[in-house]
Structure 1
Amino acid sequence: MSDTTQPPFSILFVDDEEMSRNHFARAIRADYCVHVARSADEAIAVLSQHGAEIAVLVTDYRMPGRDGDDLLRQVAQEYPQIVRILVTAYADKDMLLQTVNTGDVFRILEKPLRTEKVREVLQLAIARYAERETRQQRLLAMDETLAFLAHELNTPLATISLFARSVETDVGEQYDPERQREIGHAARSMLNNAQYCLTLISSFWETVHKSGGQQSASEAGIREVKATRLIATLLDTYPFVASQRDWIQVDVQGDFVVRAMPNCVALVLSSLLSNALRALDGATAPALHLEVVDNPEPEIRMRDNGPGIAPEIKARLLLDPVTTYAGAGGHGMGMIFCNRIMQSFGGCLRIESMLGEGTTITMGFPNSTGRMHTTD
């Protein structure tokens, strides 16, 4: 292994015997980065500095001061993602049963340690760690999606409330033709926003209902759906107004499978479509192109010929809560949540826009190897 290549996972080995620590480090340092500690307290100190990179804890049971069982319990509480392995040279049946029954240990290794057995158990432990990390990422993505959904519902509902209060205030007044048109526009806006809310809720509920509550998070996360299918479903269910559907053209240059969280991706698509249609409102010849490509990288592009985005706004859209639709109830959080959802499974969101020339939003997806091209 070259000096510039770092092993992907780190192991923490705890033993009060120096010879044992040296032997363990020599046996596995070709495959893993190894941290060592002489006691439970020293191990906690190591974890305070390197806990984010350590995947597996291997600790001796009999040590001066706090024993390995005590260390395992503390690590289970403070670093639950770390897989824990106990090493013992003592046939203490009660101790072993207690440790296994409390769930604080993944495997038990007997001294003297055999290199092949250690490597075998570490491979299993790393696989368990990777599984936990994947599950955690999916839970984080779910949290982001719920927050995103709450935002997407809150924004149009806030708009409904705003217009409703305006209409209520004007009740009983004499309206000139211009004011009547304004009230009519407000009423249509309330209806359109309400329909958008209902569509999102219906789509989300239908997905959950079909799963019957029995589909695991991991199964949901790896469900495979084609990109074109997501777009077709969106166009079939979105509450278009007047001739909006006629503005849209779909160009498929190469389809691909959306392997991670297709429901989350569908929400991102719905939000981006809503933004694009809003940008095109009032355009002379509105046009929105949805492009699906799989080469050189899997991407979905949404390109409109709207007014474009000012450079100072564009630079902040994915980072700060900025919006050009504050008067219509916008909070500027939609693009941030969309970006976070894409990043949660290794994707990205890119924005290209010039004033007077329209905007292109690109959803970039990991390719089959899990890597993706992220340059603008």
Structure 2
Amino acid sequence: MTDTRPPTTPPTTPPASTAPAAIQAPFSILFVDDDEMSRNHFARAVGNDYRVHLAQNPDEAMALLRELGPDIAVLVTDFRMPGRDGGHLLREVGDAYPQIVRILVTAYADKDMLLQTFNTGDLFRILEKPLRVESVREVLRQAVARYAERETRQQRLLAMDETLAFLAHELNTPLAAISLFARSVENDVAQEYDPQRQREIGLAATSMLNNAQYCLTLISSFWATVHKSGGPQSATGSAVREVKATRLVATLLDSYPFAGAQREWVDVEARGDFVVHAMPNCVALVLSSLMSNALRALEGCRSPSLRVEVVCEPEPEIRLHDNGPGIAPEVKARLLLDPVTTHAGRGGHGMGMIFCNRIMQSFGGGLRIESTLGEGTTVTMRFPGLRGRVQGGAREEASDGHAA
């Protein structure tokens, strides 16, 4: 590898994967070449910018990938090697690890043959020997950017998958309740009713209506937000609109199918505002589910109250405070780990909070809960701050939310 820069002191970081873990670059490069000098030169040239793993042949490279596959962003391989050549390795890696960006290194004499032999659409770049340090660094920078773009797209698609599963759950719960009450009404239709039974049937019919309206509103809201944010493009990140947190809350209050006096229970307090950079339809579904849980917890309370707060300091958050009965510690500790529900009789599955937390985590946020029996519950939706992820996210306890 040719270096056109003035001589510098070689880096003290070991060139291979044994580098200290105290400060590590976020991406790893796998370099494959049967020539030991080439491997060492490559590691010295880019070892300060990336974690570098070295292999001397395709078999050794595949063994490393089986161990480190999820950590490897870019594969750089020489073409001419004893035994299986770089072309075989590229095809095998493309099949087993399609997310890895692949770069081929070859001598000028091989270039025409390679262009005819390989589908260059599967390759990110072909680099000619002798390698020049600045050229390699620029190509690696572009390759890592391509890898990060793919990972971001994949995360958005996973978030959409989680959201659709969550939407299916949210619809299934009220639909199960509708089915339960409808069957009860059907069984009683031929009977004579006393006043108490007539009242029970009336309440069942009201519940069916409320649940049906909730389903219709949820579907309508989801459809509208997806199309307003660019339709299918929103899943690829090419058209994600900027929506303020206060606007999301206001839209939810305008469209939510409140029953009876429930809307009078809700108060909003904005202490600052922030842009929700995640897909707003996903966030709106989480917010809707949390409000539904809180309103359900307030049923039967003497003076029900639900306060929704929007805060931007020290980190952007949306908080829902209710003065309901609270959550028992043993239930709270399991909510994001197991399907726990206190509403099985009304179609609850206990998966709602798990889906909510997964959706929030998919874009760097999360949920937090504080609850005291007899006093109420606060559920906090945490959003990424200026550093891209919520502070202390890895240390937070996974034990938040109302039972769904």
Same fold (TM over 0.5): yes
Task: Judge conservation of contact 2:156–2:237 (CA < 8 Å) in 1.
Answer: no
Partner of 1:78: 96
The CA distance in 2 between the partners of 1:92 and 1:110, in whole Å, is 9
Matching residue's letter, 2:286: V
Three-state SS of the structure 2 residue aligned to 1:122 is: helix
The CA distance in 1 between the partners of 2:384 and 2:116, in whole Å, is 44
Task: Judge conservation of contact 2:245–2:273 (CA < 8 Å) in 1.
Answer: yes
Query: Does 2:387 correspond to 1:369?
Result: yes
Partner of 2:208: 190
Partner of 1:60: 78
Task: Judge conservation of contact 2:230–2:239 (CA < 8 Å) in 1.
Answer: no
Partner of 1:356: 374
Task: Judge conservation of contact 2:225–2:280 (CA < 8 Å) in 1.
Answer: no
Q: What aligned pairs does 1:103-118 form with structure 2 within 5 A after superposition?
A: 103-118=121-136
Task: Judge conservation of contact 2:58–2:84 (CA < 8 Å) in 1.
Answer: yes
Query: Does 2:113 correspond to 1:95?
Result: yes
Shift of 1:306: 0.7
- Compared with structure 1, are the counterparts of its residues 216 and 190 closer, same or farther at alpha carbon in structure 2 (3 Å cutoff)? closer
1:61-114 CA-to-partner distances (Å, cap 9, x unmatched) read 111111111111111111111110000014334433246635221011111111
Partner of 1:179: 197
Partner of 2:140: 122
Q: What aligned pairs does 1:20-39 form with structure 2 within 5 A after superposition?
A: 20-39=38-57
The CA distance in 2 between the partners of 1:299 and 1:287, in whole Å, is 20
The CA distance in 2 between the partners of 1:364 and 1:212, in whole Å, is 25
Matching residue's letter, 2:339: P
Query: Does 2:212 correspond to 1:218?
Result: no
Equivalent of 1:344, from 358, 362, 367?
362
Partner of 1:317: 335
Equivalent of 1:241, from 242, 259, 262?
259
Shift of 1:39: 0.9
The CA distance in 1 between the partners of 2:179 and 2:103, in whole Å, is 57
Task: Judge conservation of contact 1:85–1:106 (CA < 8 Å) in 2.
Answer: yes
- Compared with structure 1, are the counterparts of its residues 336 and 214 closer, same or farther at alpha carbon in structure 2 (3 Å cutoff)? closer
> RMSD across aligned C-alpha pairs, in angstroms?
1.6
1:355-376 CA-to-partner distances (Å, cap 9, x unmatched) read 1101110001111221322457
The CA distance in 2 between the partners of 1:248 and 1:214, in whole Å, is 34
The CA distance in 2 between the partners of 1:169 and 1:191, in whole Å, is 18
Shift of 1:244: 0.7
Partner of 1:154: 172
Shift of 1:280: 0.8
Matching residue's letter, 1:326: A
Query: Does 2:43 correspond to 1:13?
Result: no
- Compared with structure 1, are the counterparts of its residues 211 and 352 closer, same or farther at alpha carbon in structure 2 (3 Å cutoff)? closer
The CA distance in 1 between the partners of 2:357 and 2:116, in whole Å, is 46
- Greater alpha carbon shift after TM alignment, 120-129 vs 204-213: 204-213
Shift of 1:330: 0.4
Query: Does 2:317 correspond to 1:302?
Result: no
- Compared with structure 1, are the counterparts of its residues 326 and 220 closer, same or farther at alpha carbon in structure 2 (3 Å cutoff)? farther
Three-state SS of the structure 1 residue aligned to 2:70 is: coil
Equivalent of 1:230, from 227, 230, 248?
248
The CA distance in 1 between the partners of 2:187 and 2:362, in whole Å, is 44
Task: Judge conservation of contact 2:79–2:87 (CA < 8 Å) in 1.
Answer: yes
Matching residue's letter, 1:360: T
Shift of 1:266: 0.2
The CA distance in 2 between the partners of 1:266 and 1:152, in whole Å, is 13
1:129-158 CA-to-partner distances (Å, cap 9, x unmatched) read 111111111111111001000000111001
Query: Does 2:269 correspond to 1:251?
Result: yes
The CA distance in 2 between the partners of 1:99 and 1:52, in whole Å, is 29
Matching residue's letter, 1:180: Q
The CA distance in 2 between the partners of 1:115 and 1:192, in whole Å, is 66
Task: Judge conservation of contact 1:251–1:292 (CA < 8 Å) in 2.
Answer: yes
The CA distance in 2 between the partners of 1:292 and 1:114, in whole Å, is 53
The CA distance in 1 between the partners of 2:173 and 2:161, in whole Å, is 18
Task: Judge conservation of contact 1:220–1:261 (CA < 8 Å) in 2.
Answer: no
The CA distance in 1 between the partners of 2:285 and 2:239, in whole Å, is 15
- Compared with structure 1, are the counterparts of its residues 99 and 184 closer, same or farther at alpha carbon in structure 2 (3 Å cutoff)? farther
1:197-233 CA-to-partner distances (Å, cap 9, x unmatched) read 0001111222334456463523367421100000000
Query: Does 2:61 correspond to 1:48?
Result: no
- Compared with structure 1, are the counterparts of its residues 99 and 351 closer, same or farther at alpha carbon in structure 2 (3 Å cutoff)? farther
Shift of 1:7: 1.7
* TM-score in terms of structure 2 length: 0.90
* TM-score in terms of structure 1 length: 0.96
Q: Identity across aligned pairs (percent)?
A: 76
State the 4+ residue runs in structure 1 displaced beyond 4 angstroms.
Answer: none
- Greater alpha carbon shift after TM alignment, 83-92 vs 50-59: 83-92
| Structure 2 unaligned residues grouped into runs of 5+ | 1-11, 14-19, 398-404
- Greater alpha carbon shift after TM alignment, 259-268 vs 173-182: 173-182
Matching residue's letter, 1:134: T
Matching residue's letter, 2:140: L
- Compared with structure 1, are the counterparts of its residues 21 and 136 closer, same or farther at alpha carbon in structure 2 (3 Å cutoff)? same
Task: Judge conservation of contact 2:301–2:324 (CA < 8 Å) in 1.
Answer: yes
Shift of 1:46: 0.7
- Compared with structure 1, are the counterparts of its residues 105 and 299 closer, same or farther at alpha carbon in structure 2 (3 Å cutoff)? same
Partner of 2:297: 279
Equivalent of 1:203, from 221, 225, 235?
221
- Greater alpha carbon shift after TM alignment, 272-281 vs 176-185: 176-185
The CA distance in 1 between the partners of 2:75 and 2:117, in whole Å, is 15
